[in-house]
Amino acid sequence: MPNVPDNPVEPDGLPDDHVDFLFSRLKSFSQLAVAVSGGADSLCLMVLLAEWQTRRAWPGRIDILTVDHGLRTESAAEADFVAATAKDLGLSSAVLHWSGPKPASNVQEEARRARYRLMAAHMKDTGAEALLLAHHLDDQAETFLDRLTRGSGVAGLSAMAADELDGPEGLRLVRPLLSVSKHALESSLRARGLTWCTDPSNRDRKYKRSRLRQLLPHLAQEGLTADRLAGTAANMRRADEALDAILHDLMQKHLVEHPAGPLKLDRLVFRSLPEELRLRMLSWMMSRVTGQAPRPRLRNLAGLDRMLAGDRPCRLTLCGAMFDGGPSVLTCWKEPGRRPPETLSGLSGSGIWDDRYSYVVPQPLESGEPQSLCLGPMIAAPLTSKQVDWPTGWPKAAFHCAPVVWTGGDVLLVPFLSTDIDLSTSRSFQELELERLPFQAKLPGNYVDDGNGPGEN
């Protein structure tokens, strides 16, 4: 019999045909950005991607992005290492810097947000269609455990998607290595004689992720391997997608949206839904009227649901949304609160207002037209309640955050609503474009988080 080595034989890494399969979905793109920190996972993604591009003659462009957070003295050298490795592979790269003061707490989360923000801005300039991330099988298992400790429901326990169409900053995130173990990625680099950077914070037990990472081998001894955890996450994702499909069908049939912002729904229909669908419906309504993706605690969301699923009239707020439960209709709108939507002054060109509407101002302005335009909520506009022809079947308060365009003391445009004001001031203002944005916010997976993590009450 052949001699058996004392230590397990380490594989040479991922075979080319396996890599080709993992990257096969990338062929439809023409330009990709890749987030690379210099660690083994992202460095391996960069190397495998460069080899795949050559081997398969993919004609697209690859941009390597690395962020120097400035949190450790080694960060600048690590960014230079990534840039040098990318150059050796024939890939273009850019080092993005997180400048300004750094937070004293919640550092990892704030660094993550800054990272996505910087990369999104760069990708907007270059035209990259998606951002590739090196999240792998072990990361998926850690994410599942993290969500589990927060008391997440089906959506949260779905963990990370291989292709996330609307990630942070609206980015499309592609994770081609989710089925690959960290060990296989490191072996692939060793087989090529490559080294990588090591971030000591990955082993620092003051971070929850590090503690969960160290817990995984003990769970594996009991049969709860990374493969099993990732498989459970995949099962949860299928269930989550099925529930979302049912919810969207219900919304198309029963939910009414006024173009000025508010929503309404037959309260009896709402009452008849299973609790899980009611909770999802409320989360969706909050996101739609505010333009944000709120993170309500389960206890608060469930309390709101109990009141609205009852038969008594009620009016409650949660995460910046007002819910009015009338005898037969449930209405929801954006609450002005202590900080109403901002008023944009000197309006020109195009842009987004209040995360809910896009605008385009005709250019150039006609001779004699006011040069200082304002776009803001109705409650901040020079407009009285008596001047508005309020829509029937809607509370007046539902339109406090409706968009209005004015200059000085003259209202020029009240989109989606009728008034007794002569709004035919000029042809250009009639041509001003203001459109409700399609719903793009990703609903929070951990809306059931009752822990001490970030969330809104």
Q: Which residues are annotated as a binding site for ATP?
A: 37-42
* Separation of alpha carbons 31 and 131, rounded Å: 10
* Separation of alpha carbons 41 and 32, rounded Å: 18
Which one, of 132, 125, 62, 111, lies nearest residue 91 by Cα? 62
Chain mean position to CA 84: 31
* Separation of alpha carbons 194 and 44, rounded Å: 9
- Is residue 35 within 8 A of residue 117, CB to CB? The reply is no
Q: Which two tokens stand for residue 278?
A: 């009611």
DSSP bridge pairs for 256: 264
- Rg of the chain over all Cα atoms, to the nearest angstrom: 26
How do 256-257 and 314-318 pair as beta strands? Answer: unpaired
Q: Which two tokens stand for residue 438?
A: 């399609």
- Alpha helices (H) in 222-297, listed in sequence order: 226-254, 267-272, 275-290
* Separation of alpha carbons 50 and 44, rounded Å: 10
List of E strands, 167-249: 173-174
DSSP string covering 117-175: HHHHHHHHHHT--EEE----HHHHHHHHHHHHHTT--HHHHT---SEETT-GGG--EE-
* Separation of alpha carbons 60 and 134, rounded Å: 19
Judged by phi (left if over 0) then psi (alpha if -120 to 50, else beta), residue 393 lies in: left
Chain mean position to CA 370: 38
- Written as one letter, the residue type at 70 is G
- Written as one letter, the residue type at 57 is A
- Is residue 340 within 8 A of residue 401, CB to CB? The reply is yes
- Is residue 352 within 8 A of residue 438, CB to CB? The reply is no
Max intra-chain CA distance, the chain: 97
Q: How many CA atoms lie within 13 A of 117 on its CB side?
A: 10
What's phi and psi for 334, nearest 5 deg? Answer: -75, 130
